[in-house]
Structure 1
Amino acid sequence: MTRRLLSAGFLFISSAAAAGGFQNGPQSARLLGLGGAATAYSRDASAIFYNPGILGHLDSLTHLSIGGMGTVRATSFLGADSRRETRQDLSVVPGGYLYLTHPISDRVKVGLSVNTPFSYNTKWPDAWEGRSVVRSASLQTVYVQPTAAFKVNDNFSLGAGFIYASGQLKQERSLGQYDDQRATARFEGRGNGIGYSLGMYGRTGEDLAFGISFRAPVTLKMNSGTATYQNIPALDAALYPASSKFTSQVELPSALAVGLADHMTERLLVTFDFTLTGWGRYDSLNFDTQTGPRVRSKRGYEDAMAFRVGGEYEVSKDLLVRAGVSYDESPVRDEFITPELPDGNRLGGSLGASLRLNRVMLDLGYSLDVVGQRTARVNRTQFQAPSIAGTYRTLVHTLAIGASYSFGSKN
């Protein structure tokens, strides 16, 4: 009875909370089907990215999990003055993951995760009315995390991981001060950064497990980006050189998560997660060029909360089905909504399944997020936050396919 009340209480607290931004969905087909509630989910190696402590309680087999995923944002914009609707060009944000774990002993296990947790890919028509703000923008990141965990006892384990992150940023916009729409500015840079991840996992009995994790923020330092300007009138050639080097930083957020996993019945596992994402450090995106004008873009993100609930049902020993729901609060404040990433509060639903074929498990997950309508208003006094007045509507589709394989012998 106490266990049931604890689970219900956690769900109530979570649903009272209000992490969107440019997070690239749960990093596994299994976790996508669960709605991303992974902090206390110990049935798959992919959970080590979200909670390194789980690694200590995986069985004494070597586990390999690989997969690919794709996300499509379908966004429309209705201009406040023009009353003209524009739709983004549909483009897939690619992603993928690899997880490998290996037991050193019954108490010590090591693992490696490679995934793509943050990304976006925005493309608007070349001649759309907001082209001087952005025509296209993209960010791709890869996190590599070697991880180790120690099982303190049968009910408790601790884990830690080192994060090496790399990323590529691209942005293009029209120079609206010129009549020639072909006058454009392009920025492209690569950078890397480091961080860490800590976690603990425990069980209070045969049916109830909990997890707490913290993933540190990462700063991608881009020290040799390239800015290029095309079709600039001859009179302004000195102001906008054909090419210039720039430096920039992309601030990726921290994440603090608490989760529960409860075996409601012998076949049904229910998971709950609450996450606080430290988006507040993403305050601006600046391009400090060696020659040519410097670009200052205010972002003004705020820390955001999310809750996720997932369920996994064992239909048979060879078939598992999953479903999940989530609510992610957007970190983007009203005054800083831009067409680069017109984010909003998200309500999501997901489905997934795993089919066992001998020692290989095939995984499939799909989610649909409905993003709350956002209305942007131009603040003439906020020159470092360029935008265009209008209303955005967005749907986000994510599909992931993977396979898992376990080998070795249990102790």
Structure 2
Amino acid sequence: MDKPKVVLGVSGGIAAYKACELLRRLTESGHEVRVVPTASALNFVGEATWAALSGNPASTEVWESVDEVPHVRIGQSADLVVVAPATADMLAKAAHGLADDLLTNTLLTARCPVVFAPAMHTEMWEHPATQENVATLRRRGAVVIEPAVGRLTGKDTGKGRLPDPEEIFEVCRAVLARGAAAPDLAGRHVVISAGGTREPLDPVRFLGNRSSGKQGYALARTAVARGARVTLVAANTALADPAGADVVRVGTALQLRDAVLKAAADADAVVMAAAVADFRPAVYADGKIKKQEGREPDPVALVRNPDVLAEISAERALKGQVVVGFAAETDDVLDNGRAKLRRKGCDLLVVNEVGESKTFGSEENEAVILASDGGEVQVPYGPKEVLADVIWDQVASRLAPPSELRRA
């Protein structure tokens, strides 16, 4: 089979050097990559570097190899165009259809999916002009990844940092997998919880679970690739932030509840993939609980945590909001799942069997998606991204038109 053809556009920002890592991941995973830098980008990384790493010529000019009509052919033949970093200037040119170099010409002639990974100072990202340009590009079907929060140039810190190249690669891979399919979550805000909560017993101990957060992170990545604005409420994970997701870090079930309820206020869909502790210790010991010779430890009294899934399902912030829960079961999986679906009141419940060597920490998963209308979708064992896409298929088919979403 022919290798997927990817055009990597690089605009003139300090984060241009990070695009070398994205290029490496694309080429090593079997993609044919043509790098199209802007003239400004060459001030950060030279043409020879791009050509050597990609195995293809890299040019900024429409006047080179004119007989091959590169300003038309490169975009026409691409399966994906990704611009990383995308500066404020590049976003403005793309939104307004300007074509003053090879990259902007390529963007106008491309009929394949286009991904922009912005990187700039916070003030530039937040400026109304940039936000309007981003909204325009998204409305036209482009995937514009939200920038990360972190260290910028100089001493500045804030939103505007280029996401991790590995995470940008994952978005590109997900977009390529969908082919010409439109980003069906464009304009939607989705909230996802991931990981496992920890309930402190004393300063060094806690009650927790085995959840790694990988399924929730897969849901975040695939939602970004489908055009959504993603808020990821992450409980005690050790995973890199998914490119394009706004990550809110929490520890306990009460913290997760507060973060999810706040983010869900304007969300079209809420997916509760986190493993939330049902109980927490009734008393927190200010000092480490010591072992005493000749004495058994005192029993640990527990109290119930709030049922976040049931609360969101019963008191939705918006009418038409789709709520998805997860049920991790060890026996009578489907029977317990159907009972939980009725009890929780959510629209969809993803039911899977778990155990010490099943699901938790794995890159793969299998599940049955139960629907409140009686429908069932079986998802065979495979990558967690595949299950995530099936879940979003089910969510997208149930989303109310934006005009019908109303305050509950």
Q: Could you say which TM-score interval applies, normalised by the shorter chain?
A: under 0.3
TM-score by length of 2: 0.23
TM-score by length of 1: 0.23
Q: Which has the higher contact order (CA 8 A, sep 6+)?
A: 1
The structure with the largest strand share of the pair is: 1
